[in-house]
Structure 1
């Protein structure tokens, strides 16, 4: 019987941490990227100035408030991401979160594999995204959890070891969903929309969806040939990345005014890397379309057909990270290809 492409992984799963710990000096072929996709030649520009948003201004004087909204609009339009400061997320909550999940990834492999995921659920411990057979894989392991609304939580998927992991994750998640609601209001206002527009478009207080992916990038013997996470743009609304980065992605609702930035993750031969991505998304069954206030004679709708977030994210679940082809596939500005 043919299997549904979201029910099973096409090949046996080998955790990347196992490969890293084996001491191999060369990479399996399925991890090696084509030359055009390798990280070779990527350098850090010392003059690069990432936008910084000070959330203390959001409740400050009207003048500071307007300056902050202008800064958010500029960062979202021109960069697609920004760094947040004075965001009131408790530093102890962050410390406990990092500590608990590092401890989880340090557990023996047989204990982690108890939580192994499948494409149909995605939730749990995994080492690949897409389910297309023969795909080039990324050098990373991860743990994915559904967080909000509470009725999508399955606590059986939450590890019991270490013993403080569940409490640390709950506290951290509650603080970040509150932060996302502040950002949704600020982004709505910066677009010239009513303050609650994006909040309501995402499903309101009882409907906004949130998930989390803890990323573990083990040491790699040939980091110049691979990626920890292939180039992609996040499919959801707002991504808060715990390494002092904030990556924003409200491209469809903003009718393309705010960018969904394309990004990727590199690995290192000397040390492991560890990040936690918190995703604030529209409720899965709500149709998402450009805000009518942002569509007009001089600004036609770039996305003609509404799409639900549940349908939209199936693309990355099937194909894995693939640049911006996902959002481009539903854009009305894309030209049709040649007839077959």
Structure 2
């Protein structure tokens, strides 16, 4: 994929670290982080739909493979995303990733600046798609990186990320597609990841 295509993802102005703002307990939350025009979120309903859960173990060699493929098909078709369980990634590795993300956000500001966004870029540590000083922002810091295609990775952000997963082949099977057709669809596609940190606020 050409660099010019990646530039279309977006640009972002640099903003102060929310973690640093949150450290000053006597300060009020800046107005750009206050969303007074939003209706309160009401979570009392018990009839909310649940995110589809797909069991990788059953997909690969279970007696209920066909039923699970059908669930997978519906998840891809109706939702566009799903939760994957029994994927072979150990709980200890998942906990290690969570711990390292927390440790990253707990680094001193000067250390995190080494991973900061460059002017006009959305990759790195900061906030995405900030286009004006008046824009309402989330009370969060984040790090965003492009992981695929591999030639677009920025080594200073995350030097060693895993290659694509076999999940694409299973998606093709669930959607009754030829795996090669699925690969063509993702040939010029992109994969990225974003990790958010939401500091405590008294307001």
**Secondary structure, in 3 states, of the residue corresponding to 2:142?**
strand
> 1:14 matched to which residue of 2?
16
- Judge conservation of contact 1:128–1:137 (CA < 8 Å) in 2: no
> 2:139 matched to which residue of 1?
139
**Larger strand share, 1 or 2:** 1
- Judge conservation of contact 2:53–2:82 (CA < 8 Å) in 1: yes
> 1:60 matched to which residue of 2?
61
CA shift, 1:71, in A, is 0.6
Task: Considering Cα pairs closer than 8 Å and 6+ residues apart, tell me whether 1 or 2 has the greater RCO.
Answer: 2
- Judge conservation of contact 1:126–1:143 (CA < 8 Å) in 2: yes
CA shift, 1:47, in A, is 5.3
1:190 equivalent in alignment to 2:148: no
> 2:201 matched to which residue of 1?
220
> 2:162 matched to which residue of 1?
174
**Secondary structure, in 3 states, of the residue corresponding to 2:67?**
helix
- Judge conservation of contact 1:140–1:217 (CA < 8 Å) in 2: yes
Q: Name segments (4+ residues, structure 1) moved above 6 Å.
A: none
1:264-303 equivalences under 5 Å are none
**Secondary structure, in 3 states, of the residue corresponding to 1:81?**
coil
1:88 equivalent in alignment to 2:88: yes
**Secondary structure, in 3 states, of the residue corresponding to 2:184?**
helix
CA shift, 1:27, in A, is 2.3
Question: Unpaired runs of 5+ in structure 1?
Answer: 1-5, 159-165, 223-340
What is the CA–CA distance in structure 2 between the aligned matches of 1:7 and 1:14, rounded to whole Å?
16
What is the CA–CA distance in structure 1 between the aligned matches of 2:195 and 2:98, rounded to whole Å?
9
**Secondary structure, in 3 states, of the residue corresponding to 2:143?**
strand
CA shift, 1:33, in A, is 1.8
**Secondary structure, in 3 states, of the residue corresponding to 1:155?**
coil
Question: Unpaired runs of 5+ in structure 2?
Answer: 1-9
CA shift, 1:128, in A, is 4.1
CA RMSD of aligned residues (A): 2.7
1:1-340 equivalences under 5 Å are 9=13, 13-24=15-26, 26-35=28-37, 37-38=38-39, 40-43=40-43, 45-46=45-46, 48=48, 49-60=50-61, 64-118=64-118, 120-158=120-158, 170=160, 173-174=161-162, 177-178=164-165, 181-182=166-167, 184-203=168-187, 209-222=190-203
In structure 2, do the counterparts of structure 1 residues 8 and 42 end up closer, same or farther at CA, with 3 Å as the change threshold?
closer
- Judge conservation of contact 1:128–1:141 (CA < 8 Å) in 2: no
